[in-house]
Chains A and B, each alone.
Chain A
């Protein structure tokens, strides 16, 4: 912003008209549609009183729902970070038949309504679905000796936390690809040539030279995918099974509290979700800003 240095000025002079009208419309609409309603949410949550807030926030069902939403979103973001990066790389670097078609298809989750995606994923991964029926025989369970830790796969995806992840992977993928892609396109080829001539193997060039330059964008994209996944509702509820404490996501818990006319309870869960999400997004932006300061125009 280039505000005046000597005297305070609300805005720089301009011969163009309409500043007042345009800003007025914007701020009014923003306040009525977004800001005041969000403020009402925080107000409602706060009005519940510390004891009630604590009761809602610390209830096992709330914690289980938040834990599922955030861990499933995190896991989905990690899967998308890996495959989104590979996909972006393939789309930018390689030429193969159908490349442009695939490039366009990446945006499908942006365009396909979440409820449509939800019932479709549920049908595919249900035990009698196309993929679900293939996975059913693959059930396994691994226990780690001398501990009570064990993990396994009982052959089911739909109606389990795995199903939640599948839906979150679906909706998050384009965020990673579309954030990383332009950065990959703008990478200068001479840097990779320099590394090769200095004797670096191709994998060393990629991991030490190329990926560090892509990392800030990859993090941004993953955080966007994560933030979207935490709040996602439509594509998840059909495949999740919605078993309380097991596969019930936080947004669904909000809906359930609302249906029980527990407005304060809904507001508290919603506020917790928003605060955690905003903190994560802010953190991501700070990392990005720091990288830019140090490495120049990354």
Chain B
């Protein structure tokens, strides 16, 4: 049922705006992949290209061995969940879900009884049993979302595509549906691609995340890959809060001014670079080697985490530092910070 999706060097322009500039991506059968990026990065265009709603200027999309350019929209068998769900508002829930099956050519069309059974099975699957006769206007946002998903699953899609699946929902419903979708994917095993601009959502849900920026895929990998080893400064900044230090690499050490702040570097060829350090990778220490002195200027709480803003001489922006539970520096206190993990990018 599920197929591999191969995207080969896709290019797509809208009038004078290049939406995609040479995008390639291999998706395994049954894989759950997130297309992550800021608005305008081309992620929705890529999703619509896979669906066949847009045509590429160059490049192609393969389902298994089949070139999709030879397939009609119907023959692609795509389950697509639109951002605003695109439910048919003049049809009730059962008619919405059954629409795809009833649209099949007569000899492939299941009987009315069979369709009714399938619809009720799908409603059970999306945990909305008994809502057949409701109209979309009578459903909550989360219910509409799940009806849209059931409608997409009804045609037994080869690939399931979701455009900002949780974008239109409020925070609480969004979290619940996320866990549920993960579990549903585990059960049904469809090759699934979803678009999101929310890095938390992408990292939590997807087997692999493809991060797009300005029409290019900058990195593809598991959540851990992209978070711990970001390929570019853009990804590093996009995936979460990060402090940026201008450093100079000499040998195996990175120097901030004339002070070594990070050691054990291997692959760098030396020279000026930017060191990206997340707040949780800065620790207050007592010893001096490889430590950065600074002054605590502000303390605040950010949900479960306490934060210190630390001014460092020679750095315009204060460093954001997550505090371990046992540490409680005072405002104005002089402290030393050790960098436990950082990402180094040669200065452009």
| Contact count A vs B, C-beta below 8 Å | 76
- Which B residues touch A190, using CB under 8 A? 82-84, 86
Interface presence of A201 (CB below 8 A): yes
Across the interface, which residues of A come within 8 angstroms of B73, CB to CB? Answer: 196-197, 199
Instruction: Give the distance in Å from the alpha carbon of A296 to the alpha carbon of B76 in the complex.
Output: 32
Name the A residues within 8 Å of B152 (CB-CB): 198
- Tell me whether A194 is interfacial, beta carbon within 8 Å: yes
**Cβ-defined partner of A198 (8 Å) among B53, B83, B89, B151:** B151
A194 touching B137, Cβ below 8 Å: no
**Of B96-104, B169-177, B231-239, B286-294, which binds chain A?**
B96-104
Say whether B51 faces chain A, with CB atoms less than 8 Å apart.
yes
The answer to whether the Cβ of A262 comes within 8 Å of any Cβ in the partner chain is no
CB distance from B328 to the nearest CB of A (A): 52
- CB distance B82 to A209 under 8 Å? no
The interface residues of chain B lying within 8 Å CB-to-CB of A201 are: 74, 103
Q: Do residues A198 and B103 form an inter-chain contact, with CB atoms below 8 A?
A: yes
| Interface magnitude class on chain B | 20 to 34
Q: Is the interface of A mostly helix, strand, loop or mixed?
A: helix
Please state if A199 and B100 are interface contacts (CB–CB under 8 Å). yes
CB distance from B43 to the nearest CB of A (A): 16
Across the interface, which residues of B come within 8 angstroms of A208, CB to CB? 88, 99
Q: In the bound complex, do residue B90 and residue A195 qualify as a contact, i.e. CB atoms below 8 Å apart?
A: no
Q: Within 8 Å of chain B (Cβ to Cβ): is A154?
A: no
Contact (Cβ within 8 A) B137 A295: yes
Answer yes or no: A204 CB below 8 A from chain B CBs.
yes
Check A191 for interface membership: any CB of B closer than 8 A. yes
Contact of B86 among A188, A204, A294 (CB under 8 A): A188
Interface residues of B (CB under 8 A from A): 51-53, 73-74, 76-80, 82-84, 86-91, 99-100, 103-104, 135-137, 151-152, 154-155
**Interface residues, chain A, with chain B CB atoms under 8 Å away:** 188, 190-191, 193-201, 204, 208-209, 212-213, 215, 294-298
Q: List 15 other contacts, CB 8 Å, given A190-B82, A298-B90.
A: A191-B87, A193-B80, A193-B82, A194-B80, A194-B86, A194-B151, A196-B73, A199-B77, A200-B74, A200-B99, A200-B103, A201-B103, A208-B88, A212-B91, A295-B135
